[in-house]
Structure 1
């Protein structure tokens, strides 16, 4: 088997194929595993790009079992937070979304007693979700046995009305019923930024998971997760070729037989799995020759429809001299004034997320220092156009982001600007360049959008195959929706479908832990190029602004 892409889905595919007796090789265009699940470094700081919470960090459920089979959590401590997020408005009023429903209810009632009915209804639903364990990630939908389907029904049916009602109620509709203006805006931003169009169900589900310690943060973060899966894959006998950009999927007689790299070299296999950007796979690697109604709808009509893809993001990492550990709040969404939002290039919403990443895991900052991650949803076309037509203006916009972040943090934490040692900015164009993701989207299709139903049919009915093409499968978030556990599960599904086709038993077993995980196992981390107008000031002012449009960011 040849696998295109060493993201979480691609490495998951490779691991399960190796466990099931196949020989595999992964081809990855970048120098690191993980795709968007990555990190990079500068001056001793590690900039962790992807994970904010990871479903499956508590034992006893199917999501955790997948991570154990992939070795993703071996030897790692897990950080858990008692709150999901805090939201602060322009006047300084704040609301903290505690994961514990009782504590959350008391807190919200203190903020707005007039909204008692809505508050109690939300917290009552949250309590109901804490009693539900539903993580159906082990068996591909079309292969589930009668016993597995019955077990799922036993979980779903008693809570059917709860699922139906919360899935049918948009969070915007619910939030607009609050009398308190802060709560009206804050509920939209429980997931740090407003995903727009989400119903209540995913908010309740994820907060309940966090309450059960099943949505924590693994030591080593995003690249640490990817490195652990990479180690597992290699131990199982697999190999990864880095700096190996696939230019074409080779097809003979209606069957995929191999790949051709950008350097012209060809590699052949019995089966090819594309675990990379879906649009690139369909229209570039395969030349648009193998489509059907579902593929045309997903990668044609819906791909550019507003609200179907997760927006791209701008990330600004801030390295700080000093320990910010006294602040117990790990994540805060600041609601911005119209004037502030206008200063953020390409901003799609009036908000900025500020996360104390040093609280998430050790090793992200040198001793005695801290790292903060600031993000906002941004328009991909704004950055793509700038980078392609006016590179100087593109870099200037990145410096504008850095300047805004510096000034904003100084307003929130007076004196911090004197301790800022560097600010490192990654744009949506960077994401596109290093991952190939369409429009720089990190999470691909939005759940609960029209694309959700089409993608579900692609996985369950089409078995992740394309019409008229044998010897080929797709995996990853472009077929199974966003989220790391979903990406990992699609790799498992792809191998299960192939094992059935080939008459081979599907095998999976948990990894043997390789000792306590340490930051040294991250390996070499790339740095961003320093040539793009890095602001060198005196050590007393302690600032340096860099940008991430060069080699090796992995973003």
Structure 2
């Protein structure tokens, strides 16, 4: 089935021509080789189009990436991946994209551990029975709330709802009926848990640790999330459907890139798009920073949303919905998912085997003030070498320490003074070293290096507005607006044909959502181009190995051990 989608790809090179070669499939240009852009390319190739992806960076994946230093691999993005277990629609998407080809998946018995300043901790097990017993032992006085939470978790475990295969406006009567059969019996559960903010629920606990810990099940407090996403993701983890794929973030991106190239697609790296070319209110091509122009019958922007609307298209095609997203909500506090500071620690030997793979450490106000640009008094420490092989040289391991941070703080620093900017990075590294030594005496002598990535780093390499990794915050005011952009507007801009958008800036956060927007975008554009949407699972079987990551960059060429860059 796959052989007829690229028949003329090898012999036709008309990307520089306004008119495509007669008798050849329609051309589709994709801006951005993140997960959404690669997904768009894969599904368009499977559906019979000819595609070419243009990417500003030297690697695929966008934020779903990694970089290296001295034999260590610093995995940046995935903490859990929805769709790692067979038998659901999310898994089908990853199989179609080749994301899990030849890979093992690591699953953990707990979602996260939260420890306070005094060493008292709570472990959020994915098994509701074990979780309930643990919480009751910690705080018998909170039994009613504990049992209510675990009762809801059991109900979510019985629900399978992964609507990632068909674009909302194209769902058949059968598909809508199947969704209703799942949703209606649990409607009150969905409504209640979606309407109950986590902070309101958590504040009811008598135990002060539980009041703080429940907010940090997702490592740090996303602020504004209701109960529903916590229950949904813990239920997925219980089903082993929220695991960590071998190869990690860049491994996933490389696998999808390999799938795309195998389908006959083409990626051009170090190719920054400066504008989308428009003629008679139809997108006809793109112009790169070097002045070169490329043409196609359809353009898909899978990069930063504000850059697309107000940069590549000069703000010419908007609507009240677009203006609300990219003029109003994008600057409203709490609407974008926060940016993060990452401190990767290369360690000789293993991390403490008695520690959880992921722990949120609650900090005192004094310690919180010592973390540059911190938005919350907490630090997440993850033993990343337990997630997948190949993240550290033999006999060594990697820790990933993160905290939510203010992009404006780092941007202003870097703009005003590179020396001060690097100085703050040193402060982060020093804090992490001191903190780890306090918790694990003697560990400082085993630290090889500490590598820091700030929100300004994220912005520079991905273009994401304010350095946000997940774009719009789910369940914020942007959620309903973005949903209408995908469903009602079909991922298009008003008044502009031959163009659509994909990615987290239209489909909200999360890698499976990003991948699904690529599928949706192609389903919509197939109708415009007169193609039949087709998709099938990858047949790749080669076992994954670290060599598949390819050449790895050293982003800023900076670490706390050698201060030589920016």
TM-score per shorter chain, which class?
over 0.9
What residue is the counterpart of 2:57 in the other structure? Answer: 30
Kindly indicate whether residue 176 of structure 2 is the aligned counterpart of residue 149 of structure 1.
yes
Q: Alignment partner of 1:24: what SS?
A: strand
Displacement of 1:326 after TM fit? 1.9
- 1:198 paired with 2:206, answer no
Query: What is the correspondence of 1:414-429 to structure 2 with a 5 Å cutoff?
Result: 414-429=441-456
Q: How big is the shift at 1:545?
A: 5.3
Counterpart of 2:483? 456
Matches of 2:241 and 2:355, distance apart in 1: 20
Tell me whether 1:514 sits opposite 2:550 in the alignment. Answer: no
Residue 265 of structure 2 is aligned with which of 238, 253, 275?
238
The answer to whether 1:297 aligns with 2:337 is: no
Q: Quote the residue 2:191 is aligned against.
A: 164
State the SS of the aligned residue for 1:404: helix
Aligned with 1:306 (options 321, 333, 351): 333
* Residue number among 459, 463, 466 corresponding to 1:436 in the alignment: 463
The offset of 1:230, in angstroms, is: 0.3
Paired with 2:371 and 2:427, the residues of 1 have a C-alpha distance of 8
Corresponding residue of 1:527:
554
Pick from 112, 120, 138 the counterpart of residue 111 of structure 1.
Answer: 138
1:424, 1:545 within 8 Å by CA — same for their partners in 2? no
Query: How far does the alpha carbon of each residue in 1:411-449 deviate from its partner, in whole angstroms, 9 at most, with x for none?
Result: 111100000000000000000000000000000001111
Alignment equivalent of 2:80, drawn from 29, 53, 57: 53
Q: 1:376 is paired with a residue of what secondary structure?
A: strand
Quote how far apart the aligned CAs of 1:74 are. 0.4
Question: 5 Å matches for 1:342-421?
Answer: 342-421=369-448
- The answer on 1:258 being equivalent to 2:277 is no
Corresponding residue for residue 553 of structure 1: none
SS of 1:316's equivalent in the other structure is: strand
Q: Is the 8 A contact 1:402 1:545 kept in 2?
A: no
Residue 327 (structure 1) shift: 3.0
- Among candidates 106, 122, 133, match of residue 160 of structure 2: 133
Q: Deviations over 1:308-365 (max 9, x none)?
A: 0001000000000112262351000000001100100000000000000001000101
Select the residue among 287, 291, 295 that pairs with 1:268: 295
1:538 counterpart residue number: none
The alignment partner of 1:302 has SS state of: helix
Between the aligned partners of 1:184 and 1:400, the Cα distance in structure 2 is: 30
Once residues 262 and 514 of structure 1 are traced to their aligned partners in structure 2, the CA distance between those partners, rounded to angstroms, is 39
- Asked if structure 2 preserves the Cα contact closer than 8 Å seen for 1:430 and 1:548, the reply is no
Q: Is the contact made by 1:399 and 1:547 (CA closer than 8 Å) also made in structure 2?
A: no
Which one of the candidate residues 251, 258, 274 is aligned to 1:224? 251
TM-score normalised per structure 2? 0.94
* CA distance in structure 2 between the aligned counterparts of 1:291 and 1:403, rounded to whole angstroms: 46
Matched, 1:15 2:42: yes
2-structure distance, mates of 1:498, 1:31: 28
TM-score by length of 1: 0.96
Separation (CA, whole Å) in 2 of partners of 1:21 and 1:547: 48
Alpha-carbon contact 1:399-1:545 (below 8 Å) kept: no
1:39, distance to aligned residue in structure 2 (A): 0.1
Deviation at 1:272, TM superposition (A): 0.2
Residues 123-181 of structure 1 deviation map (CA, whole Å, 9 limit, x = unaligned): 00000000000000000000000000000000000000000000000000000000000
**Alpha-carbon distance between aligned partners in 2 of 1:471 and 1:204, rounded to the nearest angstrom:** 40
In structure 1, distance between residues paired with 2:246 and 2:565:
25
* SS of equivalent to 2:50: coil
CA displacement at 1:514 relative to structure 2: 3.5
Cα shift at 1:503: 2.7
Could you tell me which residue of structure 2 aligns to residue 330 of structure 1?
A: 357
1:208 to 218, 230, 235: 235
Q: How far apart are the structure 1 equivalents of 2:355 and 2:100?
A: 25
Question: CA–CA distance in 2 between the matches of 1:134 and 1:411?
Answer: 44
Counterpart of 1:41 in 2: which secondary structure?
strand
Deviation digits for residues 516-551 of structure 1 (CA, Å, limit 9, x no counterpart): 011110011111454x5x55xxxxxxxx255873xx
SS in 1 for 2:438: helix
Runs (4+) of structure 1 exceeding 4 A deviation are: 545-548
Distance (Å, rounded) in 2 between the aligned partners of 1:529 and 1:28: 19
Cα offset for 1:504?
Answer: 1.6
Gaps of 5+ in 2: 1-27
Q: 1:478 aligns with which of 501, 505, 516?
A: 505
Give the equivalent residue in structure 2 for 1:318: 345
Deviations 1:204-247 (A, max 9, x none): 00000000000000000000000000000000000000000000
Query: Could you say which residue in structure 1 is the equivalent of 2:7?
Result: none
Does residue 1:497 correspond to 2:524, yes or no? yes
Q: CA deviation at 1:278?
A: 0.1
3-state secondary structure, aligned to 2:380:
strand
Q: How many residues align?
A: 539
Distance 2:344 2:150 in 1: 34
**SS class of match (1:193):** coil
Following superposition, the deviation at residue 479 of structure 1 comes to 0.1
Is the contact between residue 325 and residue 359 of structure 1 (CA under 8 Å) also seen in structure 2? no
Q: Is the 8 A contact 1:167 1:201 kept in 2?
A: yes
